[in-house]
Amino acid sequence: MTTRTTTARPLSRQATATRAKAGNDAGTGHRGNRAAWLVVAVVVLAVACAASLAIGARGMSLGTVWQALTAFNPDDGNHAVVHTRIPRTVLGLVAGAALGLAGAAMQGVSRNPLADPGIMGVNAGAALAVVTGIYLFGISGASGYIWLAFIGAGTAAVVVYLIAAMGREGATPVKLALAGAALSAGLYSLMNVILVSSQDTLDRFRFWQVGGIAGSDWSVILSGLPFLSAGALIVLGSARTLNGLALGDDVARGLGQNVALARGVTSLGIVLLCGSATALAGPIGFVGLVVPHAVRFFTGPDYRWILPFSMVLAPALLLASDVVGRVVLLPSEVPAGIMTAIVGAPVFVWLVRRGKGASL
């Protein structure tokens, strides 16, 4: 009797996983061809890139933008403006893709649909580390910010998980969200203590703090590109692992996954993406929360599709927010981080009111 019960348990887990996968496939079948939707998402991203190059305090036609890209004339003022916007657009692409991938992967690792680099304390940890480096060591520039942001983001992620893991139930989705919110509040308080005590640190940090892609150049982008690429490869390669984790730790183990190793490797990719994006563009929030939820309408719960869709549509959202921020208060600009918060905060409240913070 005992032997039959012991041998049946792995089969039961495998059967549960098989049924869950079949249900997911059946549930997403009515959403149409996901590959076709991905093509549509790429078109949306292309439109956002074109708008980023054409729209601003000095607007111009798409024809002028095309001429500036294909037949640059240094004596043409419009062409020069287009070329100054190219690094800004590219930074929006890479930072947005990093935030979208990190947010989707973070939701999968924690099985918490409210997980987001900003909500889970990762952005706050990176920001505090950058402020501390500026205040104590006078560090400036993206090359120095990146290493500080990695340290801060990684430390914050570990602390949030350890706090949430206390107690009998372990690191449940609700406890992770609460721990992340509490840690974020504490870290931002410490950061403000440093900022109010040093005017020089405040002057260097205040524009970076609100999050944005304005004023970027190629040296900034190239300094973070290796880390962004490594993080993206790790996270994209973890799609099947995230599908297993979404079924629960017991089922994932029954399918042969090393749950601790899977979470550790994926979390490394998340830290690389969050740290790089935060160092390059500042702590931009809600992109990693809103986009993965939106793409599930087209993809269902399959992370093999959620991750690519998030990587394409997150930069589209960031670039669109940046474009709106350029023209909404002319001649001034509203940083993209503020615009994404205006969009993301109501969505976050809606998700909480619908009670989706408790399960994936």
Residue 2 has pLDDT above 60, yes or no: no
Name the percent of the chain in helix, strand, coil, to the closest 5. 80, 0, 20
Q: What is the DSSP string of 272-289?
A: HHHHHHHHHH----SHHH
Are residues 114 and 173 in contact, defined by beta-carbon separation less than 8 angstroms?
Answer: yes
Q: What CATH number was assigned to the domain covering residues 2-353?
A: 1.10.3470.10
Q: What is the pLDDT of residue 274?
A: 84
Other beta carbons less than 10 A from residue 26's beta carbon: 10
Query: Mean pLDDT of all residues in the chain?
Result: 80
In the block, residue with structure tokens 């657009």: 89
Cis peptide before 331 (omega within 30 of 0): yes
**Structure confidence by residue, pLDDT tens digits, 86-95:** 999 999 999 9
pLDDT in tens, 241-278: 888 888 877 787 887 788 778 888 888 898 889 888 88
pLDDT of residue 4: 43
Residue 15's pLDDT band, with cuts at 50, 70 and 90, is very low
Nearest CA-CA partner of 344 in 290, 274, 282: 290
- Predicted confidence (pLDDT) per residue in 170-217, tens digit: 666 677 778 888 898 899 888 888 888 877 777 767 666 656 777 677
The Cβ of residue 217 has, within 10 Å, a number of other Cβ atoms equal to 12
For residue 226, give every residue at least 6 positions away whose Cβ sits within 8 Å of its Cβ, in sequence order, or none: none
Residue 322 vs residue 9, higher pLDDT:
322
**Domain locations along the chain:** 2-353
